Amino acid sequence: MSQERVLVTGATSPLGQAVGRRLKSEGHYAVGTIHTQNSNSDLPMFDSLLHVDLKDFATFRNLDVEFDSIVHVAALSDGTPTDLMQVTGIATTWLADLALRRGIRNFVHVSSMSVYGAVTVSEVSAQTEIRHSTPYGAAKWASECYLNSLNNRLPAVSVRSCGIVGQKSHRNFLAQAYTAMVNKKPQVCVSNPDFPFNNVIHEDTLADFLVYLALNHQSGFHAVPVGSSDPIPLRAVLKMISERTHFQGVLDWIPTKNRPFSIDLSDAVKMGLRPLKTSDTICKWLDRFVTGK
C-alpha cells in the first residue's frame, strides 16, 4: 500500500494519539490538529501538527494542506448545550464541507453510543431506534445526520464508540472504579452485576478500526456501534479490577433507572472491526494502565 496522508483531529487526546501511532506503524503520513497554538507539541506519532479551533471557522484555513482521508476524533463532551452543538456538531459540518470540496476519499467520524439516548432494548445494534436525551448525544446525532445527507458525495462512517479504555482512561465508569479502588475508597458503587457486558473497547482496538476505515474505500454513509465481543457479567469485570488493585473495600451493587444493554457488533465486524473479547479488553487495559507499558 502506498503512503497515505491522513488528517487526525484531536491529536492530543488518547484516542487521537493511538490513531497517530497506528498510522505511523503502517508507514503513513499523519497530520494532527491541536486546539491552540500553545498545545503540547510533543507528539512524535504525528508528522506535522496544525492549529484548529473547532469554535473558530477562520482557523480551518490552516487545513490548506494535502490529505487523502480524515479521522475526526476531536469533540467536546462537557459544557453548555450551545458549546456542545458548536464544537461537536457544527464543527463537524465545517470539516465535512472541507472534505467534500477537496474530494476526500474517506471521512471517519468518531460518534458515541450517546446518540441512542434512553435505551429500551437489551442489545443495541446499528438499527436500534435513536432516542437521544442529552445535548452531547444530540450534537453527535446532528453530525451523523449531516454526513448522511451528503451520502454518496462524501463516503463517511460514524463509529459509535462505547466506553474507551487505555493507559490514560479517566472518564468512563470503569476507570473511575479503578481509581477509587487504587485510592482505597471503602466503598465503590456500581449497578447491574449480572447483565452481560461488552460496552467497552480498548483505544488501540478502536484506533485500528478507524485507521482501517480511513485507508479502505467506503461508499455512502454508515453508522455502527462498537465494543468488545463475548460479553461477560459486569460482576466479573469488577472482580478483575478489584483483584488487580487488591481492593479490600465493598462493592455496593445499587439499583439504577438506566436499562443495561450489550452491543451487537455484527455491522462493525463486517466493515473491518477486529474486536477483542471483553475479558481480553479489560486485561489489556489493566496491564497498561497499571504498569504504564
Cell digits of residue 201: 473497547
Query: In this model, does residue 182 exceed pLDDT 70?
Result: yes
pLDDT (average), residues 52-67: 92
pLDDT band (50, 70, 90) for residue 290:
low
With 70 as the cut, is the pLDDT of residue 291 above it? no
Tens-place pLDDT, residues 165-181: 997 777 788 989 999 99
Handedness of CA 187, 189, 193, 198 (dihedral sign): negative
Q: What average pLDDT does this structure show over 152-173? A: 89
- Let me know how many helices (H) and strands (E) the chain has, helices first: 9, 15
Least confident of 60-64, 69-73, 205-209, 271-275: 60-64
* Cβ–Cβ under 8 Å, residues 107 and 70: yes
Average pLDDT, rounded, for the chain:
92
Would the CA dihedral through 158, 160, 164, 168 be positive or negative? positive
> How far lies 54's CA from each of 51, 88, 150, in Å?
10, 8, 21
Contacts of 145 (CB under 8 A, 6+ apart): none
How would you label 259-286 residue by residue, b for 16+ Cβ within 10 Å and e otherwise? ebbbbbbebbeebbbebbebbebbebbb
Residue 131 makes CB contacts below 8 A (sequence gap 6+) with 116, 117, 118, 119, 120
Residue 271 identity (one-letter amino acid): M
pLDDT at residue 292, as a whole number:
47
pLDDT band at residue 65, thresholds of 50, 70 and 90? Answer: confident
Secondary structure of residue 261 in the 3-state scheme: coil
Place of cell 465503590: 188
Placement of cell 442489545 in the chain: 123
- Is the pLDDT at 217 greater than 90? The verdict is no
Q: Indicate whether 203 pLDDT > 90.
A: yes
pLDDT digits (tens, 9 = 90+) for 15-47: 999 999 999 999 999 999 998 765 556 899 999
pLDDT of residue 293: 47
Q: Which residues make beta-bridge pairs with 250?
A: 187
- 293 by Cβ neighbours in 10 Å (0-12 / 13-18 / 19+) ranks as exposed
The predicted pLDDT at position 213 comes to 97
Could you read off the pLDDT of 240-284 as tens digits, one per residue? 999 999 999 999 999 887 889 999 999 999 999 999 999 999 999
| DSSP assignments along 76-93, one per residue | --SS-HHHHIIIIIIHHH
Q: What is the pTM of this model?
A: 0.94
Which of the pair, 141 or 256, is modelled with greater confidence? Answer: 141
